[in-house]
Amino acid sequence: MTTVVVLSGPPKAGKSRLRGDLYRALRAAERRAREAGLGLRWFVQAFSPDSEGQWVNDSHCLGRGEVAESLARRAKLALKRSGAFFSPGWVEKAARQLEGICRWADVVVADLGGLPSPENERIVGAVWPHGPRVLPVVLTRDGEDSGWVAFWRAIKPALTSSYVGPYRDGLGERLADDAVGPLPESGPSVPGVPDSVAALFRGAVRWHLRRIGDDGAAFSETAVADAAAAFWFRAQRDPDGAHPAVVAAAAVSAAMDMVRAAVRVVRA
């Protein structure tokens, strides 16, 4: 199942900066996935015709951000003068692009731009037929969300925003961690548990500890098991050739002994 992180919020709230943070965090997650012998397909895209893509973020890192932003503004102005800015044709192409990316990627970051609109509703609407996991993010500026919370509530009343608030350091890493989920981590064998299952539960424990470290919540064995199961089904991989439910039923007792031991070590 594809996870789509959708960035929204008023202009100048920090969406482009957050998009750059997510780009770097997902590159790091891809490296960790390769080390675990897995693949991670991801894509970051700005679905706004303002011409500010990852190249602007990279230019800031190289000390040429002002030059890049000037070029982007000139391109945006030319697009507006041509009448193509958020034109029906452009919106349809953007929607088809997002739909195609969702078919291919495990994780997609989609930046919708600054204002709620029918055009943005059409673009994000391209993901619903594929049944992805959608994580709306609403950045605020001076405490205002410019109607984005209401926008998401109107589209999908049952959909809960993954984050509502101002831009902050570390947010991109947290969102990327949520989107990717736990990745297997190598370690010692656990008697009675296939190595692939032990590695996944080890990664799920560390992933869950990061979550509760941020939120101040209590450790939950159920949350660890759910996270591990979600990875199995998302990746469509059956550890050691067995169905995830069968493996989980046979290994959960021994694996949870490992979980409890890991928690005791970390807390000590």
Q: In whole angstroms, what is the distance from residue 239 CA to residue 197 CA?
A: 7
In this prediction, residue 160 has a pLDDT band, given cuts at 50, 70 and 90, of confident
User: pLDDT at residue 268 above 90?
Assistant: no
- 30-34: average pLDDT: 90
78 is a domain residue = no
Domain count of the chain? 2
44 with 147, same domain: the answer is yes
44 shares a domain with 176:
yes
Looking at the structure, tell me whether residues 156 and 224 fall in a common domain.
no
242 falls within a domain: yes
Residue 35 lies in a domain: yes
Are 32 and 142 part of one and the same domain? yes
The helix (run of H) or strand (run of E) holding residue 72 is helix 65-82
Where residue 120 sits, what CATH number does that domain have?
3.40.50.11230
Last residue of a domain, one of 112, 146, 180: 180
Task: Mark whether 236 and 132 lie in a shared domain.
Answer: no
Instruction: Clarify whether residues 223 and 248 are in a common domain.
Output: yes
Is 65 a member of any domain? Answer: no
Q: Could you tell me the pLDDT band of residue 62, with boundaries at 50, 70 and 90?
A: confident
Please identify, among 153, 180, 207, the residue that sits at the C-terminal boundary of a domain. 180
Residues 166 and 203 in one domain: no
Percentage with pLDDT > 90 across the chain: 34
Q: Residue 107: its pLDDT value, please?
A: 95
Q: What's the maximum distance between 2 C-alpha atoms anywhere in the chain?
A: 68
- Name the residue among 195, 252, 245 with its Cα closest to residue 224: 252
Range of the domain at 218: 195-267
- Same structural domain, 170 and 201: no
Residues 6+ apart with CB under 8 A from 99: 126, 127, 129, 130
Write down which residue in 148, 180, 212 finishes a domain.
180
150 within domain boundaries = yes
Q: Please report, for residues 3, 40, 157, the alpha-carbon distance to residue 235 in angstroms, rounded to integers and kept in the order given.
A: 12, 9, 28
Is the pLDDT at 1 greater than 90? The verdict is no
| Per-residue confidence (pLDDT) for residue 237, from 0 to 100 | 44
205 and 249 part of one domain: yes
pLDDT tens profile 79-137? 777 776 778 888 999 999 999 999 999 999 999 877 899 999 999 998 888 778 899 99
| Threshold 0.85, pTM exceeds | no
| Residue 225 within any structural domain of the chain | yes
Q: Is the pLDDT of residue 267 over 60?
A: no
pLDDT tens-digit map of 210-219: 877 766 677 7
- The answer to whether 179 and 5 are in contact (CB under 8 A) is yes
**Shared-domain flag, residues 156 and 211:** no
Listed residue (113, 158, 133) closest to 7, CA to CA: 113
Q: Indicate if 163 and 206 belong to the same structural domain.
A: no
Domain shared by 128 and 223, yes or no = no
Q: Does the pLDDT value for residue 249 go beyond 50?
A: no
Task: Please check the confidence at residue 208 and state whether its pLDDT lies above 70.
Answer: yes
Per the domain annotation, does 256 fall within a domain? Answer: yes
Q: What's the pLDDT at 233?
A: 60
pLDDT higher for 146 or 260? Answer: 146
The answer to whether residue 61 is domain-embedded is no
